C-alpha cells in the first residue's frame, strides 16, 4: 500500500509545472501570435526559474517586440550575465541596444556575434546593425554616445518621472551627475524633476550650470522655455523663443525636442514644421511624438495629418482614444478662428473685467485647447472665481445643470441666449468677438440684477440688433426679427430691456 502511495505521489510531483513547462507554453503562444498568453507564461517561467538564461532571453525578446526596450534590456542583460557566450543572447543584446539608440554598444555586440557565428542564422541581421551603427556614428561625437549603464539609469529615471515618481527619479539622477559630471542629459532631466516637485530655484540653477558649461545646449534652452511657460513669464518666454526660432538643428533628437517644445508653448506652425520634417525622413517616433505631431498639425490647419498622427498615437497607446483635440469642437470651427486662439482665450480668462472672463470661460467649451488649459496648474484658480464664472466654466466642462430653482432656470436661459448668438456667429472672427464682448457685458449685469432671461431667441435678436445698428446704417428691426423668428414688437421690447444693462445707464 505504501509503495502504491509513493508511486502516486511521484506521478503527482512530476506533473507540478516548473519553469521549463511555462517556458515551452510561452514559446507555443508566441508561435501562435498569442502574445498576451506568452507574456503570462514567460512571466511565470521567470518566477520559477530566475537563473535560466534562455527563459530570460525569450521573455526579453517578447518584451522588446512590444516596444518596451528598457525592460528588454534588463532581461537580456541578466541572461547574458548567466550565459556570456550564448550567441543568440548576444545578438538580441545588439538589437535592444540599437533600439535604445546605444549604437556603439549595439555594434560591439553585433560584431561579437559575427565573431562567434560568422555563418549563423542571425549573421545577416547582425551586419545590418553594424552598418546602421556606422552610418549613424558619423553624426555624433564620441562624447555624445552614452555607455549602457548610464543610459539605462537615466531611462529608468525617465520612466519614474512619467509615472509621477519624481522623488525616486531625483535620487537616481542626482547620483548620475555625481558619477558622470558631464552627462548633460541627466542634468536636464533632473532640472525637470526638480521643477515638477516645486523646487524651482534648484531647477533653474541646474539649467544655468548646463548652459555655462555646455553653451547652446538645446535641451536646456527648451526646458527653460517650458519653465517660463508654466510660470506665465511672457517676457522671458518670448525672448527665449526668439532664440529658439533661429536654431536649425540637424539631429533627429534635437528636432524632436524643439518641435515638442514649440507645440507645448503654442507655436504650432513651427512645431509642425519640425515634427513633420522628422516623419518625412523616416523617423518612427514614440507615443509622445505622435501626440505633439497631431496637436501641432491640427492647430496649424493640417487636419488630415492630425488625424493620421492621432490614429498612430492610439495604436501605440490605446488609452488616448477619445481625447482627440478636435473631439468636442464643432465642425464649423477652424484652427484659425478665435475659439482656437489659445493666447486670446488665456487673455480673456485672466482679464481684469469679469464680463471678459465670462466670455473666456464660455469659449473654452468650444475650443480644442480646453483640456490643456483646465489641466494647467496656474491658469484657472477655482477658489478665486465668482459664482457666475464657475457656472460658465461648468457649462464648458459639460456639467449637467439641474432645473427647478429660479436662479438656475434664469442662468439656463442666459446660456440658451448665448448659444443662439453663437449659432449665428460661429466660427468667431473679430466682429463676432466684439458682439460677444457686448453680450457678456449685458449678461453679467443682468445676472447680478436677477434678470429672468424669459425669451432667449428675442434676447439674442435684441443683442444682435443693438450690435449691428451701432455699426452699420440700414439695419432694420424687421430683418433681425425675421432672422430670429420673432415679431418686431417683441424685438423692440427686449431691446428696451437690455438697454437698461448697458454700463453707462448705471447710477
pLDDT tens-digit map of 428-477: 899 999 999 999 999 999 999 999 999 999 999 999 999 999 998 889 99
pLDDT of residue 301: 85
Position 488 in a domain: yes
Same domain, yes or no: 152 and 134: no
Position 423 in a domain: yes
Report how far residue 155's alpha carbon sits from residue 149's, in angstroms, rounded to the nearest whole number. 10
Long-range contacts of 14-17 (CB under 8 A, 24+ apart): 17/48
Reported as a pLDDT band with limits 50, 70 and 90, residue 2 is very low
pLDDT at 87 exceeding the cut of 50 = yes
* Percent of the chain's residues with pLDDT above 70: 90
**Mean local confidence (pLDDT), 73-99:** 92
Same domain, yes or no: 190 and 217: yes
pLDDT of residue 70: 80
Position 280 in a domain: yes
Position 6 in a domain: no
Same domain, yes or no: 16 and 77: yes
Report how far residue 339's alpha carbon sits from residue 366's, in angstroms, rounded to the nearest whole number. 6
Q: Residue 358: what are its φ and ψ, rounded to 5°?
A: -60, -40
Reported as a pLDDT band with limits 50, 70 and 90, residue 498 is very high
Same domain, yes or no: 291 and 171: yes
Higher-confidence position of 266 and 149: 266
Position 7 in a domain: no
Cβ atoms of 456 and 485 within 8 Å: the answer is no
Same domain, yes or no: 76 and 153: no
Q: How many domains does the chain have?
A: 3
Reported as a pLDDT band with limits 50, 70 and 90, residue 15 is very low
Report how far residue 179's alpha carbon sits from residue 143's, in angstroms, rounded to the nearest whole number. 15
Mean residue pLDDT of the chain comes to: 86
Same domain, yes or no: 134 and 155: no
pLDDT of residue 103: 82
Residues in the chain: 507
Same domain, yes or no: 385 and 346: yes
Residue 94: CB atoms within 10 A of its CB come to 27
Same domain, yes or no: 251 and 125: no
Position 327 in a domain: no
Report how far residue 409's alpha carbon sits from residue 113's, in angstroms, rounded to the nearest whole number. 76
| Domain limit, last residue, from 138, 169, 187 | 138
Rounded to 10°, the helix 406-425/430-448 angle is 170
Report how far residue 137's alpha carbon sits from residue 158's, in angstroms, rounded to the nearest whole number. 24
Cβ atoms of 499 and 492 within 8 Å: the answer is no
Same domain, yes or no: 458 and 343: yes
pLDDT of residue 193: 94
Residues whose CB falls within 8 Å of the CB of residue 219, separated by 6 or more in sequence, listed in order: 184, 185, 188, 257
pLDDT of residue 505: 42
Task: Show the domain range for 45.
Answer: 12-138
Position 361 in a domain: yes
pLDDT of residue 404: 55
Residues whose CB falls within 8 Å of the CB of residue 22, separated by 6 or more in sequence, listed in order: 41, 42, 44, 45, 48
| Domain limit, last residue, from 85, 109, 138 | 138
pLDDT of residue 145: 52
At 21, list the grid cell: 513547462
Same domain, yes or no: 119 and 267: no
Lowest-confidence pick of 33-47, 123-137, 324-338, 411-425: 324-338
pLDDT of residue 155: 80
Same domain, yes or no: 164 and 313: yes
Calculate ∠ Cα 40-41-46, nearest 5°.
100
pLDDT at 156 exceeding the cut of 50 = yes
CATH of the domain at 52: 1.25.40.10
Higher-confidence position of 146 and 492: 492
Reported as a pLDDT band with limits 50, 70 and 90, residue 1 is very low
pLDDT at 332 exceeding the cut of 60 = no
Report how far residue 364's alpha carbon sits from residue 390's, in angstroms, rounded to the nearest whole number. 13
Return the top range by mean pLDDT from 7-21, 99-113, 333-347, 475-489: 475-489
pLDDT at 201 exceeding the cut of 50 = yes
| Domain limit, last residue, from 138, 160, 175 | 138
Reported as a pLDDT band with limits 50, 70 and 90, residue 351 is very high
At 457, list the grid cell: 431667441
Lowest-confidence pick of 237-241, 268-272, 329-333: 329-333
pLDDT at 74 exceeding the cut of 60 = yes
pLDDT of residue 311: 92
pLDDT of residue 13: 41
Same domain, yes or no: 295 and 358: no
Among residues 41, 52, 124, the alpha carbon closest in space to that of 86 is found at: 52
Position 330 in a domain: no
Amino acid at each position: 500500500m505504501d509503495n502504491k502511495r509513493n508511486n502516486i505521489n511521484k506521478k503527482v510531483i512530476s506533473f507540478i509545472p516548473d519553469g521549463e513547462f511555462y517556458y515551452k507554453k510561452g514559446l507555443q503562444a508566441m508561435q501562435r501570435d498569442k502574445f498576451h498568453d506568452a507574456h503570462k507564461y514567460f512571466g511565470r517561467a521567470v518566477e520559477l526559474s530566475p537563473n535560466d538564461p534562455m527563459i530570460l532571453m525569450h521573455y526579453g525578446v517578447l518584451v522588446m517586440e512590444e516596444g518596451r526596450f528598457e525592460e528588454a534590456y534588463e532581461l537580456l542583460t541578466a541572461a547574458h550575465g548567466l550565459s556570456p557566450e550564448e550567441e543568440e543572447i548576444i545578438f538580441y543584446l545588439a538589437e535592444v541596444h540599437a533600439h535604445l539608440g546605444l549604437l556603439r554598444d549595439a555594434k560591439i555586440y553585433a560584431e561579437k556575434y559575427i565573431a562567434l557565428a560568422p555563418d549563423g542564422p542571425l549573421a545577416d541581421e547582425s551586419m545590418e546593425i553594424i552598418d546602421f551603427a556606422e552610418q549613424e556614428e558619423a553624426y555624433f561625437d564620441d562624447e555624445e554616445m552614452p555607455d549602457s549603464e548610464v543610459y539605462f539609469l537615466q531611462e529608468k529615471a525617465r520612466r519614474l518621472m512619467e509615472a509621477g515618481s519624481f522623488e525616486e527619479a531625483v535620487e537616481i539622477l542626482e547620483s548620475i551627475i555625481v558619477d558622470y559630471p558631464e552627462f548633460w542629459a541627466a542634468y536636464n532631466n533632473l532640472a525637470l524633476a526638480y521643477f515638477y516637485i516645486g523646487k524651482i530655484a534648484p531647477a533653474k540653477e541646474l539649467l544655468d550650470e548646463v548652459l555655462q558649461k555646455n553653451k547652446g545646449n538645446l535641451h536646456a534652452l527648451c526646458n527653460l522655455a517650458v519653465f517660463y511657460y508654466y510660470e506665465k513669464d511672457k517676457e522671458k518666454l518670448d525672448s527665449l523663443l526668439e532664440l529658439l526660432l533661429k536654431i536649425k538643428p540637424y539631429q533627429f533628437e534635437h528636432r524632436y525636442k524643439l518641435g515638442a517644445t514649440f507645440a507645448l508653448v503654442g507655436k504650432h506652425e513651427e512645431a509642425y514644421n519640425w515634427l513633420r520634417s522628422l516623419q518625412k525622413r523616416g523617423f518612427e517616433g514614440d507615443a509622445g511624438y505622435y501626440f505633439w505631431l497631431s496637436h501641432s498639425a491640427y492647430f496649424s490647419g493640417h487636419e488630415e495629418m492630425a488625424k493620421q498622427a492621432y490614429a498612430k498615437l492610439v495604436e501605440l497607446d490605446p488609452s488616448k482614444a477619445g481625447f482627440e483635440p478636435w473631439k468636442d469642437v464643432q465642425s464649423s470651427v477652424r484652427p484659425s478662428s478665435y475659439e482656437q486662439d489659445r493666447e486670446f482665450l488665456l487673455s480673456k480668462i485672466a482679464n481684469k473685467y469679469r464680463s471678459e472672463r465670462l466670455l473666456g470661460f464660455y469659449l473654452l467649451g468650444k475650443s480644442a485647447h480646453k483640456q490643456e488649459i483646465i489641466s494647467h496648474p496656474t491658469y484657472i484658480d477655482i477658489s478665486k472665481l465668482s459664482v457666475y464664472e464657475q457656472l460658465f466654466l461648468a457649462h464648458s466642462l459639460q456639467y449637467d445643470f439641474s432645473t427647478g430653482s429660479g436662479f438656475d432656470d434664469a442662468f439656463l436661459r442666459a446660456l440658451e441666449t448665448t448659444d443662439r448668438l453663437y449659432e449665428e456667429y460661429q466660427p468667431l472672427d473679430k466682429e463676432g468677438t466684439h458682439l460677444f464682448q457686448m453680450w457678456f457685458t449685458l449678461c453679467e449685469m443682468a445676472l447680478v440684477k436677477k434678470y429672468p432671461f424669459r425669451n432667449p431667441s428675442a434676447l439674442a435678436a435684441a443683442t444682435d440688433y443693438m450690435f449691428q445698428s451701432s455699426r452699420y446704417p440700414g439695419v432694420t428691426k424687421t430683418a433681425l426679427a425675421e432672422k430670429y423668428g420673432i415679431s418686431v414688437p417683441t424685438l423692440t421690447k427686449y431691446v428696451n430691456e437690455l438697454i437698461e444693462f448697458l454700463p453707462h445707464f448705471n447710477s
